[in-house]
Amino acid sequence: MVIHGFYIKVNGVKVYCESNNGPDDGEVIICLHTAGRDSRQYHDMMELLNDKYKMIAFDMPAHGKSWPLPGNKVINRYEDYGKFVWEVIEELGVKDPIVIGCSMGGNIVYHLAQEYPVKAICSMQGADYTPTVNENILELLNHPYVNPQISHLEFTESLIGKATSQERKDFIFWGVQTEIGITKQGDLTQYNGFDVREKMEQITCPVLVIHGLDDKIATGKMAEETMSRLTNCRNLVYKPIEDYGHFINVENPELASQYLDEFIETL
Amino acid sequence: MMDEKMIQLKNKINGEEAELFREFYYGRFFSGDITLCEEDRAATLTFHKGTCIDVAEGIPNTGIDIGVSGSKEDWEKFVTHKSLSVATNRGNSNNLTTLGGAIRFRQNFNVVAQLIRVYASIR
């Protein structure tokens, strides 16, 4: 097991990070988890790539082992999410990061590439416009009469690809059981309000898009529409994956790692 | 919508699907009615602690507890993916409409989702 954990402090918030202890003299990859979950989603990819790249995954505030914002608040605007990610990168002392993310993490990499000096991005199950979650579901994610760890089970199930192994499905379902209502509400609120379409032409860095096609909520069509607006990036690589779904970094880390490695080799 | 299909649904949810329905989807905690509507037809299944104890045509005289409705096309779309989350996601077309109070429905979302998934398999 190569992964080890450590804490940093960002704006007074204790942030839990994990690294695969990859080479110090190579590229550094920053990994962003999906809504409500934590950095464990990257364990497999981190192990698969640890000989070649240093990878650092961290839990966003109020997720996993990171502290919430002061007053037990959560982030619920994508601009604040992007700003916090960049502040983590700065605190880690990483220059020219390659930032990868899945779902809401796959969205925010586009915002980061618009606003911050990233070297390259990889968007998994991301898009530049995701107004998909019903308002009443958002409200009931943090409600005294509704248990989000149970009420959201079928939502997660619907996102998993048909070819995913039972062991990996179990880990994804365990993720539902560990979610915090107010945290998930904040994540999906910023996900629902995510719209960076007008600035997509500002993205100039290389972009890798990995998309599990067995995802009926963040669909392949949404990824394709997003890519159509990437008119100025230096290199755009699209890797669709059949029969796997929304948690592609967990469902098929082998292919995701292979595609990421091939992409980084071209930088 | 009523008649043999609903009887068949009751038998499946109490039989070969019972363990999954009651345990994984938390059906054992559900007592109440689930009404399924397609076009102008409706049927209601009554449950006690996860066991279907009655099937009746139409909407209960006491009103709808929880349920889903849709057109023929909406249900045909549902059969292709069999997920209530997908069928109620606002980014998608031909969605199903949820019936009943929002809190009561959300509390029992998995139960309804699995019931109509089984229904889709015999529809």
CB proximity B83 to A under 8 Å:
yes
A64 SS3 class:
coil
Per the DSSP assignment, residues forming a β-bridge with A156 are none
CB proximity B102 to A under 8 Å:
yes
- Closest alpha carbon to A264 in A55, A91, A114: A55
pLDDT at B1: 52
Model pLDDT for residues B83-95, shown as the tens digit of each residue: 999 999 887 889 9
- Closest alpha carbon to A17 in A122, A94, A103, A123: A94
Whether the Cβ atoms of residue A90 and residue A112 lie closer than 8 Å to each other: no
Q: What percent of chain B has pLDDT over 70?
A: 98
Do strands A236-241 and A4-10 pair parallel, antiparallel, or not at all (unpaired)? Answer: unpaired
pLDDT at B86: 93
Task: Flag if A146 and B81 touch (Cβ within 8 Å).
Answer: no
pLDDT at B82: 94
Residue by residue, DSSP assigns B92-114 as SSS--EEEE-HHHHHHTHHHHHH
B34–chain A nearest CA distance, Å: 17
Task: Flag if B83 and A216 touch (Cβ within 8 Å).
Answer: yes
A134 SS3 class:
coil
Mutate to test the interface with A, among B22, B28, B89 (most CBs of A within 10 A): B89
A134–chain B nearest CA distance, Å: 6
Task: Flag if A217 and B81 touch (Cβ within 8 Å).
Answer: no
Q: d(Cα A192, Cα A184) in Å, to the nearest integer?
A: 12
Model pLDDT for residues B64-110, shown as the tens digit of each residue: 999 999 999 999 999 999 999 999 988 788 999 999 999 999 999 99
Give me chain B's average pLDDT, please. 94
Mutate to test the interface with A, among B109, B111, B117, B118 (most CBs of A within 10 A): B109
> Is residue A184 within a helix (H) or strand (E), and if so which, with residue range?
helix A181-192
Task: Flag if A150 and B88 touch (Cβ within 8 Å).
Answer: no
Q: d(Cα A256, Cα B111) in Å, to the nearest integer?
A: 34
Residues of B within 8 A of A144 (CB-CB) are: none
Task: Flag if B91 and A136 touch (Cβ within 8 Å).
Answer: no
pLDDT at B90: 83
Q: d(Cα A229, Cα A220) in Å, to the nearest integer?
A: 15
pLDDT at A105: 98
Q: What is the ipTM of this complex?
A: 0.90
The mean pLDDT values, 10 residues at a time, for chain A of 267 residues are 94 97 96 98 98 98 98 98 98 98 98 98 98 90 94 94 98 96 97 97 98 94 98 97 98 98 97
Residue by residue, DSSP assigns A140-178 as HTTBTTB-HHHHTHHHHHHHS-TT--HHHHHHHHHHHHT
- Closest alpha carbon to B57 in B81, B82, B87, B37: B37
Taken in order of first residue, the domains within chain A and their CATH numbers are 4-265 (3.40.50.1820)
Residues of B within 8 A of A151 (CB-CB) are: 106-107, 109-110
Model pLDDT for residues B16-64, shown as the tens digit of each residue: 999 999 999 999 999 999 999 999 999 999 999 999 999 999 999 999 9
Tokens of A213: 């096609």
Query: Where exactly are the structural domains of chain B?
Result: 4-122
Residues of A within 8 A of B110 (CB-CB) are: 150-151, 153-154
Among 2.60.120.580, 3.40.50.620, 3.40.50.300, 3.30.1050.10, what is the CATH number of B4-122?
3.30.1050.10
User: Which of B88, B103, B110 lies at the smallest CB-CB distance from A134?
Assistant: B88
pLDDT at B2: 59
B42–chain A nearest CA distance, Å: 24
Task: Flag if A154 and B84 touch (Cβ within 8 Å).
Answer: yes
Residue A5: CB atoms within 10 A of its CB come to 14
Do strands B41-48 and B51-57 pair parallel, antiparallel, or not at all (unpaired)? Answer: antiparallel
Residues 6+ apart with CB under 8 A from B62: none
